[in-house]
Amino acid sequence: MAATPDLERIAAEPLGKRIGAYWRMTGPGYMQSAMTLGGGSVASCAAVGSLLGYELLWVQPLAMMLGFFVLAAIAKQVCATGERPYDVFWTRLHPFFALAWGVSAIVATVLWHIPQYSLTANGVVALGEGAGVNLDTQGTRIAIGAVVLLSACAVVYMYSRGAAGLKWYERAVKSLVWAIVIAFALVVITTGVRWGDLFLGITGVSFLQRVFSAEGVPPAAIGPIVGGMAAAVGINMVFLYPYSLLRKNWGKHHKELAFFDLLSGMALPFILATGFMIIAVANTVGPDPGDVGSKLEGAQSIRDIRQIIPVLAPTFGNFVGEGNGESVARLLIGLGMAAIGFSTIITHMLAGGFIGAEMLPDRYEKQARLIFTLLPAIGVVGVVMPFPITLAITASTLAAPLMPLTVACFLVLLNKKSFMGDAMPTGGYRILWNTMLAASVIIMSFAAYLALKDNWGKLKTEMGWASNVAHAAEKAPADAAPLTVSMPDGLDTRYAVFTHDAMATEWSFVLYARPQDQTPGELRSIADEAFAVIDDIEGRISRWKPGSQASEVNRRAAESPVRISPDFMEMLRIARTVSDETGGAFDVSVMPLIALWKEAAQANALPEDAAVAAAKGLVGMDRVVLDPKASTVAFKEAGMALDFGAIGKGFALDKAAEAIKRHGITTALLHGGTSSIVAIGAPPGTTGWSVGIRDPHDETQLLDDFRIADHALSTSAQGRPIVVDGEELGHIIDPKTGRPAHSDVLSATVIAPTAALADALSTAVFVMGVERTKVYCQDHPDAVVMVSGPGGTAWFNRVPGSVDGKSTFSGRS
């Protein structure tokens, strides 16, 4: 209720006392705070800090200052006239302006609702991780969404009833928002502020330097700038604000209180929170001070708020002990993000109801309020679906120009004597108000122009990529493949999939676009070059091709040394090393035995022991002479032969990866022959490529799944063996016995720095068996091995860097 006498008394008090009195009366500003400090701002701060360090620190305060003047001008009008802005637009300007404002406010509310659900769900998932529970599955996420949605409906219902518990709810949210601000402030204090850069960043000097530098503004910076502008004061906030004033019956005497309320309730927490967050992210995961902008090339900004946890963990570790830092960070980020998301969900729903009720005729008010309160709830899809970027781009692009249009309407109204009466500003004040509002219109129009330009281009390419991605599903390798790779349900669809047949198997490469790539077609030539590398290697090392160097070696190397190309020599030397290190379990000279057992399978009769012994006499790397200087290979016995079935695909994959990296691609997955993988980088916003190993005995089951980045992986499985005379003829031979390997291994997976090594080892594990593999791994910490047999599945050297509930293997490449 209006407390006019009080306010008149307060207005006469000195400034200090006035502030104290106002502090106890604030209200609508905090409502704005809940709305503006949502998923959009958090995401934009994380992106800005991780990409450009301190350089964009000016964006949020500037946007907030403009927003403050716009809302203050609205407060001035509403407090003076007591009229409802939507009706004023309709009657005093033109119905078009009213409709455009209302519709875009609703569209913005619904769209900006989606990231709130993903923020809330990620917060809850982070809490689960803190408690050691994996909530990051489709099913649990849907359950989280349902609970959040129902709770939100309950709170909104309480609002309509004015229930008493709301005070506690509002206090809890406020405290958590401030706890987050304090948490980031702590990180800033402990990691230190680079004061010079801070000054250059807030004043925009360093950014201006970039604008006028030879490189200019990197295109990747435009999104965060425009996004930061848009996320500060949105068009739906402009709509909701005047009505929360009217509801409180704030009139003429509340003007000063309203300004104070906006500053303390909305602007201050927002500027502090976003500022601390940007500095904290920049200090910890941002670019090195001298190297700002370098990260823009890969454009790997933070996309999931849980990636912030490592930012906080070390600082908290100082206070609660190193081991607990991460858990406390998880708890706070989890709780805080869930609270921020949830409170924004509530305000959005309330705003939707307000706007709907205002736009429709009075007699439908009740229905309109109900429907428009529930409309944003479709955002619940955000719990499982990342932001639908194409939809968001289209809508925000269309809505962007309407914000300056609406502000222009308020500017016109402020200068209408017939509307404002005596409250119309005069003299110097009039100039000040008009300057600030005009500046808002101009800057917001410019941002809208940038958004339109940038988004139009993006939308076009997005469509191109999207159609390409749809295509990728058809190209996926056969279901029976021993390993599965799932593409992230990506925010970033700027990738393309290419397939190729070589080495009697299928190859499929996923290449993420470089910043300069506009269409999937631009990646095609890179993929083709890599496929040509594979074909070329096959042409030299295949024993099936009569003209290959390998065939020549197998024909003539017992007579005289045969010249081979340098990469062939490189592969042979890797093969020799693995052979030495596995005690001869891996041996590319096993060919005579392979031939013998193949014959046996065809003839359906086991070979004589003498024949096995004879073939065994032709096997062994000590009988293969390599001369790296002359680049030749020679055999000590006639009848020897080499087979690269266990290493060739991996080696070719390594060479293909080199070719792809030479072209500046930093994110790719090369999948060869359905059993080997080279992971280059990780898909944007993830810690690695998601890989699953199929159970060879039940193709519907996975033995395990995990993520890999900058590593190679290879898996071998013992398929259904041919049985002759009660003996199982597998395709892997134990060179020691001369017989098919019968170890306790049914499936072997190796994660290693190179695919050649992973491929060779995955074969060797079958021969070595579980115990010898374990010993090998103790001496070779570089190799991570998963073996699965009748007794279950075991991992060696697995050091999970668990970020998201799954093990992630990342690092060297």
What is the C-alpha separation between 59 and 202, in angstroms, rounded? 8
What is the C-alpha separation between 21 and 6, in angstroms, rounded? 10
User: Do 734 and 722 touch, CB atoms closer than 8 A?
Assistant: no
Q: Is 586 in the site for ligand AMP (CB under 6 A)?
A: yes
Q: Is 594 in the site for ligand AMP (CB under 6 A)?
A: yes
Q: Is 735 in the site for ligand AMP (CB under 6 A)?
A: yes
User: Do 391 and 400 touch, CB atoms closer than 8 A?
Assistant: no
Minimum Å gap between C-beta 586 and Mg ion is 8
Q: Is 590 in the site for ligand AMP (CB under 6 A)?
A: yes
Candidates 29-37, 195-203, 763-771, 794-802; binding stretch for Mg ion (CB under 5 A):
763-771
Minimum Å gap between C-beta 714 and Mg ion is 6
Nearest to 756 by CA among 666, 663, 661, 678: 678
Max distance between CA atoms of the chain, in angstroms, equals 114
Minimum Å gap between C-beta 649 and Mg ion is 8
- Which amino acid is present at 134? N
Q: Is 731 in the site for ligand AMP (CB under 6 A)?
A: yes
Count of C-beta atoms within a 10 Å radius of residue 378:
13
Q: Is 402 in the site for ligand AMP (CB under 6 A)?
A: no
Binding-site size for ligand AMP (CB under 6 A) equals: 17
Minimum Å gap between C-beta 762 and Mg ion is 5
Q: Is 762 in the site for Mg ion (CB under 5 A)?
A: yes
What is the C-alpha separation between 295 and 51, in angstroms, rounded? 6
Q: Which residue in the block uniquely carries the two structure tokens 């290493």? A: 647
Nearest to 282 by CA among 576, 554, 51, 437: 51
Q: At residue 305, what are phi and psi to the nearest 5 degrees?
A: -60, -20
| 645 contact choice in ligand AMP, Mg ion, none (CB below 5 to 8 Å, kind-dependent) | ligand AMP
Q: Which of 236, 759, 785, 810 binds ligand AMP (CB under 6 A)?
A: 759
Q: Give the contacts of 306 (CB within 8 A, at least 6 positions apart).
A: 122, 125, 126, 129, 333, 803, 804
Q: Which is nearer to ligand AMP, 283 or 763 (CB)?
A: 763
Q: Give the contacts of 321 (CB within 8 A, at least 6 positions apart).
A: none
Q: Which of 349, 759, 770, 773 binds Mg ion (CB under 5 A)?
A: 759
Minimum Å gap between C-beta 399 and ligand AMP is 55
Minimum Å gap between C-beta 763 and Mg ion is 4
Candidates 177-185, 467-475, 539-547, 730-738; binding stretch for ligand AMP (CB under 6 A):
730-738
| 540 contact choice in ligand AMP, Mg ion, none (CB below 5 to 8 Å, kind-dependent) | none
Minimum Å gap between C-beta 734 and ligand AMP is 6
Q: Is 745 in the site for ligand AMP (CB under 6 A)?
A: no
The sign of the torsion formed by the CA atoms of 547, 550, 551, 556 equals positive
Minimum Å gap between C-beta 730 and ligand AMP is 9
Residues 640-669 that bind Mg ion (CB under 5 A): 646
Q: Is 640 in the site for ligand AMP (CB under 6 A)?
A: no
What is the C-alpha separation between 709 and 577, in angstroms, rounded? 25
Residues 43-102 that bind Mg ion (CB under 5 A): none
Q: At residue 601, what are phi and psi to the nearest 5 degrees?
A: -65, -40
User: Do 769 and 583 touch, CB atoms closer than 8 A?
Assistant: no
Minimum Å gap between C-beta 632 and ligand AMP is 22
Q: Which of 763, 773, 788, 797 binds Mg ion (CB under 5 A)?
A: 763
Q: Which is nearer to ligand AMP, 681 or 735 (CB)?
A: 735
Q: Which is nearer to ligand AMP, 444 or 717 (CB)?
A: 717
User: Do 265 and 32 touch, CB atoms closer than 8 A?
Assistant: yes
- CA atoms lying within 13 Å on the CB side of residue 481: 22
Minimum Å gap between C-beta 231 and ligand AMP is 51
Q: Judging by beta carbons within 10 Å of its beta carbon (0-12, 13-18, 19+), is residue 560 exposed, middle or buried?
A: exposed
H helices of 82-165, where? Answer: 85-88, 95-130, 138-161
* Buried/exposed code over 755-788 (b: 16+ C-beta within 10 A; e: otherwise): bbbbbbbbbbbbbbbbebbeebbeebeebbbbbb
Q: Which of 148, 402, 733, 777 binds ligand AMP (CB under 6 A)?
A: 733
Binding-site size for Mg ion (CB under 5 A) equals: 4
Q: Which of 176, 767, 777, 803 binds ligand AMP (CB under 6 A)?
A: 767
Q: Is 674 in the site for Mg ion (CB under 5 A)?
A: no
Nearest to 497 by CA among 458, 529, 460, 471: 471
Q: Give the contacts of 205 (CB within 8 A, at least 6 positions apart).
A: 199
User: Do 658 and 601 touch, CB atoms closer than 8 A?
Assistant: no
Candidates 163-171, 256-264, 641-649, 652-660; binding stretch for ligand AMP (CB under 6 A):
641-649
Give 728's strand partners.
723
Minimum Å gap between C-beta 536 and Mg ion is 21
Minimum Å gap between C-beta 760 and Mg ion is 6
Q: Which of 50, 236, 763, 797 binds ligand AMP (CB under 6 A)?
A: 763
Q: Which is nearer to Mg ion, 188 or 750 (CB)?
A: 750
Q: Which of 359, 405, 588, 777 binds ligand AMP (CB under 6 A)?
A: 588
| 643 contact choice in Mg ion, ligand AMP, none (CB below 5 to 8 Å, kind-dependent) | ligand AMP
Q: Which is nearer to ligand AMP, 448 or 785 (CB)?
A: 785
User: Do 538 and 550 touch, CB atoms closer than 8 A?
Assistant: no
Candidates 94-102, 183-191, 375-383, 758-766; binding stretch for ligand AMP (CB under 6 A):
758-766
What is the C-alpha separation between 672 and 429, in angstroms, rounded? 71
Minimum Å gap between C-beta 134 and Mg ion is 32
Nearest to 692 by CA among 681, 702, 679: 702
Q: Is 716 in the site for ligand AMP (CB under 6 A)?
A: yes
Q: Which is nearer to ligand AMP, 341 or 645 (CB)?
A: 645
Candidates 383-391, 639-647, 651-659, 717-725; binding stretch for Mg ion (CB under 5 A):
639-647
Q: Is 732 in the site for ligand AMP (CB under 6 A)?
A: yes
| 538 contact choice in ligand AMP, Mg ion, none (CB below 5 to 8 Å, kind-dependent) | none
Residues 24-83 that bind ligand AMP (CB under 6 A): none
* Six token digits for residue 343: 């409170």
Q: Give the contacts of 700 (CB within 8 A, at least 6 positions apart).
A: none
Give the angle subtended at the CA of 231 by the CAs of 78 and 344, to the nearest 5°: 75
Minimum Å gap between C-beta 753 and ligand AMP is 17
* Six token digits for residue 741: 């390997």
Determine which helix (DSSP H) or strand (DSSP E) holds 722, and give its type and residue range: strand 722-724
Residues in contact with ligand AMP by CB under 6 A are 586-588, 590, 594, 643, 645-646, 716, 731-733, 735, 759, 762-763, 767
Residues in contact with Mg ion by CB under 5 A are 646, 759, 762-763
